[in-house]
């Protein structure tokens, strides 16, 4: 196994090698042990400053990153676009360059535009962690999903994973497809034809529009949120109809003969893609995903920070 990441930034799963992913998982194993100790903080990153730049709303990801950074003893600055000079018309590069001028070492960024993190990496020196860029990638979510599957089944290789729902608008789906493919899982996407991108088979996945068939095939069903805020036109006739055709409830799950695991990146539209009884059932790994999210993010930040050179001492 590699002793170091092949990348300076985490922009997307697309840019990672299999060795990188395995190294992140192995490191996360140790951080999972750390976050279950009586004292959950370690001093490794005490001379690192990280800015969390959120140009889009977030609860889970933001708290998870913040906890991961604090547990590593990094100094952190939180920034949300709505309360900043972005609303006065400042450009992304200007905003970031000004922050970096105050000696910040790492940027965690969520942005509504696909490619924002890649764009930024071409203009600044600091390490960048993509916390979601539009409908493009959400690499930390994919890593924590695959890590959770690995934890439950011992290995991701050969597992049958279904990604169900609004694949068209989902950065989680795209990152997961890249990640699961690299780890050797079989992936099927499922949803109404309007919400499955054309030519998605080119990425090495199968498409099935039948929920029942898909659920009977898979070991793990990853459900995606219907992203109402990203839909300019109506892709589905109504939420009620979607819930009836593609919604998963406990009754559906109990009818499946083989064991099945349910995952969801959150936030859940309860009663739409997933009913409450299914979300809170024994099949669900949703809260494990959240716990693992902190360990995975600690591992990524730790591994990226290890490459930041110390300038002030020399």
Partner 1 sequence: MQPKIIVSTPLFEIIINRLCQQLIENHNRFEESVIIGLQPKGIHLANRLTKRLQQILNVSIIPSGKLDLTFYRDDFRRRDEILIPNATEINVVLENKRVILVDDVLYTGRSVRAGMDALLAFGRPKDVELLVLIDRRFSRHLPIQANYIGKMVDTIVSEKVKVEWKEKEGEDRIILYSKSDK
| Interacting residue with partner 1 among 4, 85, 125, 201 (CB under 8 A) | 4
| Interacting residue with partner 1 among 17, 30, 282, 287 (CB under 8 A) | 30
Contact flag: residue 310 with partner 1 (CB under 8 A) = yes
Contact flag: residue 7 with partner 1 (CB under 8 A) = no
Residue in this structure with the two tokens 């539009």, named with its chain if needed: 134
Contact flag: residue 282 with partner 1 (CB under 8 A) = no
| Interacting residue with partner 1 among 7, 42, 256, 290 (CB under 8 A) | 42
CB 59 within 8 A of CB 267: yes
| Interacting residue with partner 1 among 13, 24, 27, 143 (CB under 8 A) | 27
> CB-wise, 47 or 151, nearer to partner 1?
47
DSSP state of 229: G
DSSP state of 23: H
Smallest distance, Å, CB 300 to partner 1?
12
> CB-wise, 33 or 251, nearer to partner 1?
33
Backbone angles phi, psi at 223, to 5 degrees: -95, 145
Contact flag: residue 308 with partner 1 (CB under 8 A) = yes
Contact flag: residue 232 with partner 1 (CB under 8 A) = no
Contact flag: residue 309 with partner 1 (CB under 8 A) = yes
Of 213, 209, 198, the residue nearest 160 (C-alpha): 213
- CA torsion sign for 48, 15, 101, 297 is negative
Distance CA(147)–CA(298), nearest Å, equals: 13
Distance CA(237)–CA(255), nearest Å, equals: 27
| Interacting residue with partner 1 among 144, 179, 226, 303 (CB under 8 A) | 303
Tell which phi-psi region holds residue 186, choosing left (phi > 0), alpha (psi between -120 and 50) or beta.
Answer: beta
Smallest distance, Å, CB 246 to partner 1?
42
Smallest distance, Å, CB 39 to partner 1?
4
Distance CA(47)–CA(312), nearest Å, equals: 11
| Interacting residue with partner 1 among 184, 204, 267, 306 (CB under 8 A) | 306
> CB-wise, 198 or 311, nearer to partner 1?
311
Contact flag: residue 251 with partner 1 (CB under 8 A) = no
Contact flag: residue 67 with partner 1 (CB under 8 A) = no
Contact flag: residue 3 with partner 1 (CB under 8 A) = yes
> CB-wise, 1 or 233, nearer to partner 1?
1
Q: How far is CA 50 from CA 4, 73, 126, 151, 153, in A?
A: 21, 11, 10, 29, 34
**Strand pairing partners for 207?**
189
CB 273 within 8 A of CB 252: no
Backbone angles phi, psi at 90, to 5 degrees: -70, 145
Distance CA(32)–CA(169), nearest Å, equals: 31
| Interacting residue with partner 1 among 8, 15, 22, 34 (CB under 8 A) | 34
Single out the segment in contact with partner 1 by CB under 8 A; choices: 10-18, 21-29, 157-165, 182-190. 21-29
* Three-state secondary structure call for residue 226: coil
Binding site residues, partner 1, CB under 8 A:
3-5, 23, 26-27, 29-30, 33-34, 37-39, 41-45, 47, 303, 305-310
């Amino acid at each position: 196994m590699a002793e170091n990441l092949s990348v300076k930034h985490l922009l997307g799963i697309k840019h990672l090698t299999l060795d990188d992913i395995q190294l992140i998982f192995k490191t996360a194993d140790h951080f999972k042990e750390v976050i279950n100790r009586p004292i959950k903080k370690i001093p490794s990153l005490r001379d690192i400053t990280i800015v969390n730049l959120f140009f889009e709303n977030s609860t889970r990801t933001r708290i998870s990153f913040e906890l991961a950074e604090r547990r590593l003893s990094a100094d952190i600055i939180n920034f949300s676009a709505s309360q900043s000079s972005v609303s006065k018309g400042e450009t992304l590069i200007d905003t970031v360059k000004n922050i970096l001028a105050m000696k910040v070492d790492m940027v965690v960024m969520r942005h509504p535009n696909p490619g924002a993190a890649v764009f930024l990496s071409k203009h600044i020196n600091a390490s960048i962690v993509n916390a979601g860029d539009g409908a493009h990638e959400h690499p930390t979510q994919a890593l924590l999903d695959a890590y959770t599957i690995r934890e439950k089944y011992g290995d991701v290789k050969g597992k049958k994973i279904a990604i169900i729902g609004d694949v068209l608008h989902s950065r989680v789906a795209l990152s997961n497809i890249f990640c699961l493919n690299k780890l050797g899982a079989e992936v099927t996407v499922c949803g109404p034809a309007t919400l499955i991108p054309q030519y998605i088979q080119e990425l090495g996945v199968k498409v099935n529009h039948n929920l029942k068939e898909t659920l009977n095939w898979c070991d793990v069903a990853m459900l995606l949120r219907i992203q109402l805020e990203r839909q300019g036109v109506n892709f589905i006739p109504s939420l009620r109809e979607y819930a009836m055709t593609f919604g998963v409830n406990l009754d559906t799950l109990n009818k499946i003969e083989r064991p099945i695991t349910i995952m969801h990146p959150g936030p859940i539209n309860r009663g739409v893609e997933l009913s409450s009884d299914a979300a809170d059932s024994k099949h669900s790994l949703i809260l494990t995903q959240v716990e693992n999210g902190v360990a995975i993010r600690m591992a990524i930040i730790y591994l990226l920070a290890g490459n930041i050179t110390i300038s002030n001492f020399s």
